[in-house]
């Protein structure tokens, strides 16, 4: 199998990944190879990248059973997301997905619209004409408020900044620790112990199993970053535990609520009727809270940034939202199809989850090449979405790529910001509806003038705009009054 482009020097692609991640992914985008091999400094550690829609389909859909979520991802998210839906594997994942899927099915989404609109209204109500804003801050406050309300009926709005800061610290630690030699040697150690486990004498099996379990995440957190992570997790744990305690008390008083938190607390195992531990509920809550707001906030900020950079598209979207006689509701989603397309095009150019990894659990082939067990396989939505082999004029912002007739001609797995197959994002319809409603509300209320250019920052766990998209807000009522 050919090596991936780049990866010169002793540390190979490990250095590229840490020091020039997006430039490395641009080189992958320019490569016609469907699968490439990374050069890595640790003997015995093998990693591959699938680099075409066909091989992504093999990895995520056709051969999904041969792969688990990557140990590296689980390691970096251990403190934040534990064994939640995003990071868990096997039977636990299957059970939890079955339990949560109905809450995210398209027909269940209508009931979330009200919270999406109410939160948009509250965020926009704070804007003053002529004010300078970080759009990323606004979209984060917005999606955090929506996630809190729709998933847990909790009013996180007032706490947004404190919780937001703690999540940012935790997510930055995740991005920082991924691929570090310390994390890699940690996982290598775990793999060696797993290999030894079946041959260990009876008395040693339990302690060995405990050590293997502990090694799934960092054992100690050192340095300033480690201390900051520990503090952030402590704050998040306290908040979530309070939410769980309050809800248990409300359920005991017979005050039922139809949200995800009640459903998690109510859930019974099909076999033994056991309820979920507080720890499992906590992992699911933090997983959904993070996965449910961070990605959409980033995607929305990039969408408005892209509109500002493409005035003709901005004008067309403005006409679409102005054609509504009132603030958007779910009944108007069909009339907000350009809002959906600009969001999808922004997710193409700036996919918030831009690298996704798996670990092979058995020998398997991808693109005709043999992949040994225990090796890591990843795909990058950034590289795939910018590939000139699958997207004409790939760097141009063109929402017409998502017109149904053009989508029909494209490979189904050329656009994968939400992943694909059994582990596809459970919140993908939720996110698109949220984006349509929020965009419609924000663009009806205000006009945004960009104050500077942006670049993607790969140092956070999602691909945030480095400067937060600084804009000047012009309230449209004020503009209209001026013209009159």
**288 is a contact residue toward ligand HEM (CB under 6 A):** yes
Q: Which of 215, 233, 230 is nearest to 71 (CA)?
A: 215
**314 is a contact residue toward ligand HEM (CB under 6 A):** no
Burial class from Cβ neighbours inside 10 Å (0-12, 13-18, 19+) for residue 11 reads middle
**299 is a contact residue toward ligand HEM (CB under 6 A):** yes
**Residue count, binding to ligand HEM (CB under 6 A):** 23
- Quote the CA–CA distance of 377 and 461 in Å, as a whole number: 18
**440 is a contact residue toward ligand HEM (CB under 6 A):** no
b/e per residue 260-286 (b: at least 16 CB within 10 A): bbbbbbebeeeeeeeebeeebbbbbbb
**75 is a contact residue toward ligand HEM (CB under 6 A):** no
Q: Which of 5, 56, 50 is nearest to 26 (CA)?
A: 5
Which position among 291, 317, 342, 366 is part of the footprint of ligand HEM (CB under 6 A)? 291
Which position among 112, 397, 418, 441 is part of the footprint of ligand HEM (CB under 6 A)? 418
- Quote the CA–CA distance of 139 and 438 in Å, as a whole number: 9
- Quote the CA–CA distance of 72 and 40 in Å, as a whole number: 15
Q: How far is the CB of 287 from ligand HEM (least distance, A)?
A: 6
Q: How far is the CB of 188 from ligand HEM (least distance, A)?
A: 22
**85 is a contact residue toward ligand HEM (CB under 6 A):** yes
Q: How far is the CB of 416 from ligand HEM (least distance, A)?
A: 7
- Quote the CA–CA distance of 154 and 266 in Å, as a whole number: 18
Scanning residues 177 to 236, which ones bind ligand HEM (CB under 6 A)?
Answer: none
Nearest-CB residue for ligand HEM: 427
- Enter the DSSP assignment of 255: -
Number of neighbours of residue 153 by Cβ within 10 angstroms: 17
**Which CB, 353 or 383, lies closer to ligand HEM?**
353
**439 is a contact residue toward ligand HEM (CB under 6 A):** no
Contacts of 327 (CB under 8 A, 6+ apart): 117, 121, 440, 441, 444
**415 is a contact residue toward ligand HEM (CB under 6 A):** no
Give the contact letters, 331-370, x = binds to ligand HEM (CB under 6 A), - = no: ----------------x----xx--x--------------
**103 is a contact residue toward ligand HEM (CB under 6 A):** no
- Category of 377 on φ-ψ map: left (φ > 0), alpha (ψ -120 to 50) or beta: beta
Which position among 426, 438, 443, 471 is part of the footprint of ligand HEM (CB under 6 A)? 426
- Quote the CA–CA distance of 421 and 414 in Å, as a whole number: 14
Note the residue count of the chain. 484
Q: How far is the CB of 390 from ligand HEM (least distance, A)?
A: 18
Tokens of 152: 């847990």
**295 is a contact residue toward ligand HEM (CB under 6 A):** yes
Q: Which of 148, 422, 132 is nearest to 285 (CA)?
A: 148
Instruction: Pick the stretch among 49-57, 245-253, 292-300, 442-450 that binds ligand HEM (CB under 6 A).
Output: 292-300
**Which CB, 59 or 473, lies closer to ligand HEM?**
59
Binding site for ligand HEM (CB under 6 A): 85-86, 97, 287-288, 291-292, 295-296, 299, 347, 352-353, 356, 417-419, 423, 425-427, 430-431
């Amino acid at each position: 199998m050919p090596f991936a482009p780049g990866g010169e020097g002793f540390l190979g692609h490990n250095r590229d990944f840490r020091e020039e991640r997006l430039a490395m992914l641009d080189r992958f985008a320019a490569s016609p190879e469907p699968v490439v091999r990374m050069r890595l400094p640790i003997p015995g550690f093998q990693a591959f990248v699938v680099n075409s829609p066909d091989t992504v389909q093999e990895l995520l859909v056709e051969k999904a059973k041969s792969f688990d979520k990557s140990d590296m991802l689980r390691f970096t998210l251990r403190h934040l997301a534990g064994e939640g839906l995003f990071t868990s594997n096997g039977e636990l994942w299957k059970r939890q997905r079955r339990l949560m899927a109905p809450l995210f099915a398209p027909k269940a989404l209508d009931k979330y619209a009200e919270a999406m609109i109410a939160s948009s209204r509250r965020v926009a109500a704070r804007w003053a004409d002529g004010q300078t804003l970080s759009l990323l801050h606004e979209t984060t406050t917005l999606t955090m408020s929506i996630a809190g309300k729709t998933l847990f009926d909790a009013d996180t709005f007032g706490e947004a900044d404190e919780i937001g800061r703690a999540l940012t610290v935790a997510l930055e630690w995740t991005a920082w620790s991924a691929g570090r030699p310390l994390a890699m040697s940690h996982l290598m150690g775990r793999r060696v112990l797993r290999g030894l486990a079946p041959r260990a004498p009876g008395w040693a099996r339990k302690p060995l199993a405990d050590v293997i379990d502990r090694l799934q995440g960092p054992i100690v957190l050192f340095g300033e970053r480690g201390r900051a992570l520990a503090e952030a997790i402590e704050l998040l744990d306290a908040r979530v535990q309070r939410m769980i305690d309050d809800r248990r008390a409300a359920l005991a008083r017979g005050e039922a609520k139809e949200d995800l938190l009640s459903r998690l607390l109510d859930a019974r195992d099909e076999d033994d009727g056991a309820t979920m531990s507080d720890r499992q509920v906590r992992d699911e809550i933090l997983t959904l809270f993070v996965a449910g707001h961070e990605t959409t906030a980033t995607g929305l900020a990039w969408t408005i940034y892209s509109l500002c950079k493409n005035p003709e598209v901005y004008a067309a979207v403005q006409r679409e939202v102005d054609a509504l006689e009132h603030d958007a509701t779910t009944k108007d989603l069909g009339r907000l199809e350009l809002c959906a397309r600009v969001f999808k095009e922004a997710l193409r150019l700036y996919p918030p989850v831009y690298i996704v990894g798996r670990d092979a659990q058995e020998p398997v082939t991808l693109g005709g090449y043999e992949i040994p067990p225990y090796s890591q396989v990843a795909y990058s939505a950034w590289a795939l979405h910018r590939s000139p082999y699958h997207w004409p004029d790939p760097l141009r912002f063109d929402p017409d790529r998502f017109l149904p007739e053009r989508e029909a001609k494209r490979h189904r797995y050329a656009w994968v910001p939400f992943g694909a197959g059994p582990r596809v994002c459970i919140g993908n319809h939720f996110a698109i509806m949220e984006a349509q409603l929020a965009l419609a509300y924000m663009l009806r209320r205000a006009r945004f003038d960009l104050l500077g250019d942006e670049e993607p920052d790969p140092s956070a766990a999602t691909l945030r705009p480095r400067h937060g998209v600084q804009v000047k807000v012009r309230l449209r009522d004020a503009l209209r009054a001026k013209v009159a």
